[in-house]
Amino acid sequence: MPKKRSGGGLTTTQQAAKFLGVAALSGAVLAGIALPAAGALGLAAKGTVEEFDEIPSNLKTPPLSQRTTILDSEGGAIATVYSRDRTVVPLKDISPYMQDAIIAIEDSRFYEHGAVDLKGILRAMNRNVQEGGAAQGASTLTQQYVKNVFVEEAGDDPDKVAEATQQTLGRKVRELKYAIQVEEELGKKKILENYLNITFFGQQAYGVEAASQRYFSKHAKDLKVGEAAMLAGLVQSPTRYDPVNDTKEATKRRDTVLQRMAAVGSISQSEAEAAIAAPLELKVSKPKNGCITAVSGAGFFCDYVRKTILNDPTFGKTEEERSKLWNLGGLTVRTTLSPRAQAAANEAATSKVNKDDKVAASVVQVEPGTGKILSMGQSRPYGLDQTKHETMINLGVTHEMGGSTYGFQVGSTFKPITAAAALEKGISPAESYTTDWKISLPKSSFRDCSGAPTGSDNWDLQNELESEKGSWDMTSALGKSINTYFAKLEQKTGLCETVEMAKKMGYERGDGKEIEENASITLGGEVSTPLSMASVYATFANRGTYCSPIAIESITDANGKKVGVPKTECSRAMSEPTADSISQMLKGVVEDGTGTLAGLSDRDNAGKTGTTNDRLDAWFVGYTPNLSTAVWVGDDVGEKTTKMYDITIGGQYYDKVCGGCLPGPIWKTAMTGALNASETPSFHPIAVPRAKEKEKEKDKGRGEDNDGGNDNGDPGADPVGGITLPPGFIGGNDGGRNGRNGP
């Protein structure tokens, strides 16, 4: 009859026997207890675990979630993002003090036993019996490591975490079985290395390198004995012994570890006493995680990079695969962000619009010929605190990539697309139309790409000013942004041809839907984004070849292996003469047209203004041969009810906001700051035909100048033989009343 100890229950020996009896249900466990961590262990285990599956390979080398570093194009860090703040390091880069401390306090016989420590189990059981509870555990470092792997794999799923940590016999048996095989296949040094890299040390720090940086702002290889002891002490209870919140408890725990290190011979008693006498001397580095910590106002760009990895099929066929790559982290992401351009975009976006204004500004810059996104700036800062007028909405991109729900109507900035479609169809820039300031066109004369008419009623539209009536050719109509001209030009060119040109140039809606084939598209009735418009105009700068925008140059994983990234896709949207002609005509907009406040005096530049119905949106989009920039200003909140009439923005009063008077100067600031003064490439010269001389004379009769124009502002000069610039760019509109239904 079994003997019972005083007070009832089994004796220590009987409890041990009971444990061994349970373990014997799995011969592998018993083998692991009985045998050392040598080859014999593996043979015994293999002969007794036929009912078990083979050990998962990721238990030997688990993919540990680490921090991802996002860099700019010059290698400077933009932000660090992670689901687990961890940097995996080899054992040689971990202080010997740290290695000794964790072994001393967690598993002092680590190098003497196999996966399971029988002496430790008996000692723990005896202690627990004496104290009437679970005062001491008996898990080896190897067992703890296996448990941590299961917890790591569970990620942030609470159900999976609970399953990985539940105190059941089944889980213990599985844990022991895997521990045995891990001991055989990895060996002690590798297990110690893996353990120190996977363990949680509190304060969002996973692994000893992150913990060393968090508490002492140094690398793990540089830890001193007292520092190592404090970190080792955290493992048992990161919350209870948190030195940031309870220095007294953390110090007591550190001292316990130091005494234990002396007891097992890792350090001398005098070393322990000296370390105990010293204060903790923390040098805490606060966790910095996510795009909210991005430097140089690059939070929106950082988030665009994150969205790219989570959405682009290059990073995985399924959403789950892409999320796994991002959450696993350990990536070094080299981006296209230019520090110089980003600084310029930030300055420009906030130069004329304050963060607490009723409206906001967005600036996006793209490099022609490469598709590289060089900057993304906004007047409202990136963040979650609405009391500080922060926002997480990237006004420069589509809804799918973190932008507004629909995007923004683009106003007259669409007109050059219609002009390009017309030129590609063989319509001359000299094509002229004579109209009143108001006209009405039958919708049946506009047919979509299926050949169907867009309607049976009329499209009524008008120019900005009643005085804007008469004759225009393509050059003068672009310069003065004449709505009636472009409605008639689209009528002749074809609605489908216009829409197809927009698609070839990279024009896309902000809500991701297909472009609607309505006649009002030529006046900017369709919604889009600053990134899309910057890419569209980069096609002109690149002499007719569109290159899709990209934000990532290269990626390497935690092992230094290259990860495939999306490449820009370039395709010809129009002929070179067409693109060169558009550039030549748009030069006039910034020299003598609606965009004179935006014009750059030191280099070739071109652009177009735009506003929409009720001045809810105002634009300036323009370019040089080596940089394309789109600027949008408007209502970024809710249902877009802020009409930019009689409004104060950035401390300046506007009776009515126009594309040239607010977005234009912002564009100039962004371009001036981003461009290198020593690099001033020119547009390809081309002669742009004009309307007949008598039509020019008619324009003159309305008080307009026949301006030949040149880079020096001399109206009598002709910089390129045969090239003339539009007559009378002074005054006029910039595409007002451009709503999809017309005024």
Phi and psi dihedrals of 365, rounded to 5? Answer: -125, 135
pLDDT confidence tier of residue 165, bands split at 50, 70 and 90? low
Please give the Cα distance from 707 to 656 (Å, whole number): 28
All residues at 6 or more sequence positions from 584 whose CB lies less than 8 Å from its CB, including other chains = 606, 683, 685, 686, 688, 723
How many Cα atoms occupy the beta-carbon half-sphere of 675 within 13 Å?
24
What is the identity of the amino acid at 222?
D
pLDDT confidence tier of residue 150, bands split at 50, 70 and 90? confident
Please answer whether residues 410 and 526 qualify as being in contact, where contact means their C-beta atoms are separated by less than 8 angstroms. Answer: yes
Residue 405 has pLDDT above 70, yes or no: yes
Please give the Cα distance from 498 to 421 (Å, whole number): 5
- Report the chain's mean pLDDT, rounded to a whole number: 85
pLDDT of 741 reads 32
Q: Which of 35-49, 332-346, 569-583, 699-713 bottoms out in mean pLDDT, i.e. has the lowest?
A: 699-713
Here the tokens at position 562 are: 């290259």
Nearest to 254 by CA among 277, 287, 222, 229: 229
Here the tokens at position 585 are: 């005509």
Residue 721 has pLDDT above 60, yes or no: no
Q: Please give the average per-residue pLDDT across 451-476, as a whole number.
A: 95
pLDDT confidence tier of residue 39, bands split at 50, 70 and 90? very low
Residue 225 has pLDDT above 70, yes or no: yes
pLDDT of 694 reads 39
> Nearest 5°: CA angle at 185, between 181 and 187?
105
> Nearest 5°: CA angle at 226, between 222 and 231?
80
pLDDT confidence tier of residue 717, bands split at 50, 70 and 90? very low
Exposed, middle or buried by CB within 10 Å (0-12, 13-18, 19+), for 691? buried
Q: What is the pLDDT of residues 587-608, one digit of tens each?
A: 999 998 899 999 999 999 999 9
Q: Which of 71-85, 103-117, 239-253, 652-666 bottoms out in mean pLDDT, i.e. has the lowest?
A: 103-117
pLDDT confidence tier of residue 181, bands split at 50, 70 and 90? confident
Nearest to 417 by CA among 574, 626, 558, 259: 574
Please give the Cα distance from 364 to 531 (Å, whole number): 6
pLDDT of 388 reads 93
* b/e 611-646 (16+ beta carbons within 10 angstroms → b): bbbebbbbbbbbbbbbbbbbbbbbbbeeebebbbee
To the nearest whole percent, how much of the chain has pLDDT over 90?
71
Please answer whether residues 420 and 582 qualify as being in contact, where contact means their C-beta atoms are separated by less than 8 angstroms. Answer: yes
Q: Which of 82-91, 379-388, 459-468, 721-730 bottoms out in mean pLDDT, i.e. has the lowest?
A: 721-730
Q: End-to-end distance of the chain based on CA atoms, in angstroms? A: 102
Angle between helices 27-34 and 39-46 (to 10 degrees): 160
pLDDT confidence tier of residue 33, bands split at 50, 70 and 90? very low
Please answer whether residues 218 and 167 qualify as being in contact, where contact means their C-beta atoms are separated by less than 8 angstroms. Answer: no
Please answer whether residues 580 and 540 qualify as being in contact, where contact means their C-beta atoms are separated by less than 8 angstroms. Answer: no
All residues at 6 or more sequence positions from 187 whose CB lies less than 8 Å from its CB, including other chains = 37
pLDDT of 58 reads 62
pLDDT of 496 reads 97
pLDDT of 735 reads 39
Q: Please, which residues bridge with residue 647 across strands? A: 654
The distance of Cα 88 from the centroid of its chain, to the nearest Å, equals 24
DSSP letter string, 59-105: HHS------EEEE-TTS-EEEEE-SSB-----GGGS-HHHHHHHHHH
> Nearest 5°: CA angle at 176, between 175 and 178?
65
Q: What's the pTM?
A: 0.81
Q: Which of 130-134, 407-411, 480-484, 595-599 bottoms out in mean pLDDT, i.e. has the lowest?
A: 130-134
Here the tokens at position 77 are: 């860090």
pLDDT of 458 reads 96
Residue 397 DSSP label: S
Please report where in the chains the tokens 């703040």 appear, as a residue.
85
Q: What is the pLDDT of residues 499-527, one digit of tens each?
A: 999 999 999 999 999 999 999 999 999 99
Please give the Cα distance from 422 to 598 (Å, whole number): 27
Q: Tell me the chain's radius of gyration from C-alpha atoms.
A: 35
What is the identity of the amino acid at 137?
G
Q: What is the pLDDT of residues 201-220, one digit of tens each?
A: 999 999 999 999 999 999 99
Please give the Cα distance from 656 to 557 (Å, whole number): 52
pLDDT confidence tier of residue 468, bands split at 50, 70 and 90? very high
- Comparing 730 with 504, which gets the higher pLDDT? 504
pLDDT of 531 reads 98
To the nearest whole percent, how much of the chain has pLDDT over 70?
80
Please give the Cα distance from 658 to 644 (Å, whole number): 9
Length of the chain: 743
DSSP letter string, 557-606: -TTS-EE------EEE-S-HHHHHHHHHHHHHHHHHSTTTTT--SSS--E
Residue 672 has pLDDT above 50, yes or no: yes
Alpha helices in 241-363 (DSSP H): 247-263, 269-277, 299-311, 319-328, 339-351
Please answer whether residues 607 and 598 qualify as being in contact, where contact means their C-beta atoms are separated by less than 8 angstroms. Answer: yes
Please give the Cα distance from 552 to 182 (Å, whole number): 39
Here the tokens at position 21 are: 């009896």
- Comparing 363 with 2, which gets the higher pLDDT? 363
Residue 533 has pLDDT above 50, yes or no: yes
Angle between helices 27-34 and 12-23 (to 10 degrees): 120
Q: Please, which residues bridge with residue 649 across strands? A: 652
Residue 554 has pLDDT above 50, yes or no: yes
Q: What is the pLDDT of residues 187-204, one digit of tens each?
A: 999 999 999 999 999 999
Q: Please give the average per-residue pLDDT across 244-269, as a whole number.
A: 97
Phi and psi dihedrals of 620, rounded to 5? Answer: -140, 125
Nearest to 225 by CA among 289, 164, 272, 285: 272
Residue 440, classed as helix, strand or coil, is strand
